Amino acid sequence: MTVRVESNSYLTDEQHRIYTLREALERNGGTPSGFLELLAAVVEDETWRKVPSGINSDEPFEDFAAFVEAKPPFGLGAKVEDVRLLLQMKHPHEGVGHVRQQMEGMRAEVAKLLGPAPGDDPVTRDAHDFGAYAKSGGWLFALKVARCVQPGSNQGEKSVVPPRGSRDEVAKVSASEFGRRAGSSSNRVMRFYRAWARAAEDGLVPPFEQLQPGVDVELPDAEIWSEYYTARSSGDSERGALITAAATAEGIRPTKALEVAENPTALRAAILADESTAEAARNALMDRLEDDIALQAAMARHITDTDTLRKAVAAEAKRADQIEYVRAAVEEGTVKTPAGQIIEIPADVKAEAEQRLIPSGNSAQSGPEEAAAAYEVLHQFVAQSVEKDPQLRVQERRSKLHGRVKSASKAFEQLSLDELSELYDEELVESLEQLQGFIAACLQNLKQATQGPALRAVRGA
């Protein structure tokens, strides 16, 4: 069907309808009743598919958009965007049922034929949203909340309608209403609201009163969003604020620390199952013990009440004492006997003790076996030195006797003699009499020892 157009008299019936539709588009676009009616007819009987797509052509239009933009008398010679705008206008008689039904059907069919508008294209729209989020992160959504939400007073929420004469054409709503429209909760909405409030206090974003619904503002970098937003309600409490501050100091996201704090059972499971987690928990407890008196007392009670821990503490204390003993002896080059006498340590003994203590080169990793082995080297050296030197041997024995006498004297000093009459016991009396005899014999031997050298000196003279 090749058509050559010279005047309206040569148009086919379909082309004449298209020509009339174009005339209606140009003539009464302000009150588009005629255009809408004709467009409905063209769409309903698919007139646009029955006309050629151009001069000297019998091929129909490939799509409806090409028909709209084609030059008359084949197409409408209009922009697709203009037709979309006209479709948004209502027919003057659309209140009548059959007219309304006709218009709604036409609009739906045209929308289907034209496809989504560039701004309504889901792929384009998602790509735009992704780009905005990639650049600004959570600030993008915080802005949407900050410019649309106005919390009420006294912990309540209410919609806020702008006063008469205000430039605000759209009323801000409560967090509950905004959450309802978003399919979310008011608590989640308010977390974004409070994040914006914190940033506004720091001067990073405009305050709420300067924001208008639908109006964009410049947003901070996405990287600092986590410094102001917490995804958990606990972050708004005093406890949450302390956790947030500690997490920030450690260089981690506060949300991670808050999540752990809200789920102690999960923390316990991780500590029980994973060695590195248990080590991190232990280090944290040790750091906290320095300033937490209550925790110190609780840990001490737990250790005292648990046999295995009590034994482990005693063994660790012994290890620490032995390490300190060896370390001090190696550094000073001397060691003390039980009587307090100082003996210099030979280089070979010192080297052997040091090698036994830190075979790996790190004294902090010395275990009980290494500490005991190093201590035994010095202990044997002291014992052998005392055994080889008569003077040292006598002094050590004298020191041991002094210690026992002092211990016995202290025990008797603590007795209350006023109570002895009530505590009479024959067996006790016999024991004390035997002790008295031993003390008398001890005194006699000591006195003879002091007199012996003097008598021998007289005889020698």
10-19, 32-41, 326-335: least confident range: 10-19
Least confident piece of the model among 139-143, 151-155, 271-275, 392-396 = 151-155
Q: What H or E segment, with its residue span, contains residue 343?
A: strand 342-344
366 DSSP assignment: -
Q: Is the model's pLDDT at 312 over the cut of 70?
A: yes
- Confidence band, pLDDT 50/70/90 cuts, at residue 3: very low
pLDDT at 211: 93
Greater pLDDT, 199 or 29: 199
Give yes or no for residue 258 having a pLDDT over 90: no
Helix (H) / strand (E) element for 429: namely helix 426-460
Helices (H), 333-425: 347-357, 368-388, 390-413
- How many Cα atoms sit within 13 Å of 138 on the Cβ side? 18
Q: What pLDDT score was predicted for residue 389?
A: 84
Average pLDDT over residues 188-199: 88
**Phi, psi (5° rounding) for residue 55?**
-65, 140
Sign of CA dihedral 437, 440, 446, 451: negative
Q: What is the pLDDT of residue 406?
A: 87
CA dihedral 86→90→96→100, nearest 10 degrees, is 50
What does the block give as tokens for 193?
Answer: 């609201």
DSSP per position, 241-298: HHHHHHHHHHTS-HHHHHHHHH-HHHHHHHHHH-HHHHHHHHHHHHHHHTT-HHHHHH
- C-alpha–C-alpha distance, residues 158 and 144, integer Å: 17
Check: CB of residue 219 under 8 Å from CB of residue 139: yes
Q: What is the mean pLDDT of the chain?
A: 79
- Tell me how many degrees the CA angle 138-143-145 measures, rounded to the nearest 5: 100
Phi/psi for 149 (5° steps) reads -110, 140
- Mean pLDDT over 99-111 rounds to 88
H/E stretch holding 335 reads strand 334-336
Region 362-371: mean pLDDT is: 73
Q: What is the mean pLDDT of residues 377-386?
A: 88
- Residue 1's pLDDT is 40
Q: Is 356's pLDDT higher than 80?
A: yes
Cis preceding-peptide flag for 254 (omega within 30 of 0) = no
Please state the rounded mean pLDDT for residues 342-362.
81
- Count of alpha carbons within 13 angstroms of residue 440, beta-carbon side: 6
In 3D space, the residue among 352, 328, 337 whose CA is nearest the CA of residue 384 turns out to be 337
Predicted confidence (pLDDT) at residue 296 exceeds the cutoff of 70: yes
pLDDT in tens, 57-99: 778 888 888 888 888 778 888 888 888 887 888 888 888 888 8
Q: How is residue 194 written in tokens?
A: 């409070």
Report which residue type is found at 129.
Answer: D
- Cα–Cα dist 383/338, whole Å: 10
Question: How sure is the predictor about 196, in pLDDT bands with cuts at 50, 70 and 90?
Answer: very high
CB-CB contact of 371 with 322 (8 Å): yes
Cα-Cα-Cα-Cα dihedral sign, residues 156, 158, 162, 168: positive
Sequence-separated (6 or more) residues with CB below 8 Å from residue 340:
399
Burial class of residue 171 (count of CB atoms within 10 Å of its CB; 0-12, 13-18, 19+): middle
> What's the gap between Cα 274 and its chain centre?
19
Is the pLDDT confidence value at 167 over 90? no
Torsion sign over Cα 123, 125, 129, 131: positive
Q: What angle do CA 80, 85, 87 make, to 5 degrees?
A: 95
The residues, any chain, with a CB within 8 Å of residue 160's CB and separated by 6 or more, are: 150, 171, 172, 173, 174
The predicted structure's pLDDT at residue 159:
43
More confident residue, 194 or 119: 194
- The 3-state DSSP class for residue 98 equals helix
CA–CA separation, 91 vs 100, rounded Å?
8
**pLDDT tier at 194 (50, 70, 90 boundaries)?**
confident
Question: For 126-135, 145-154, 451-460, which range has the lowest pLDDT when averaged over its residues?
Answer: 451-460
Q: How far apart are CA 46 and CA 253, in angstroms?
A: 61
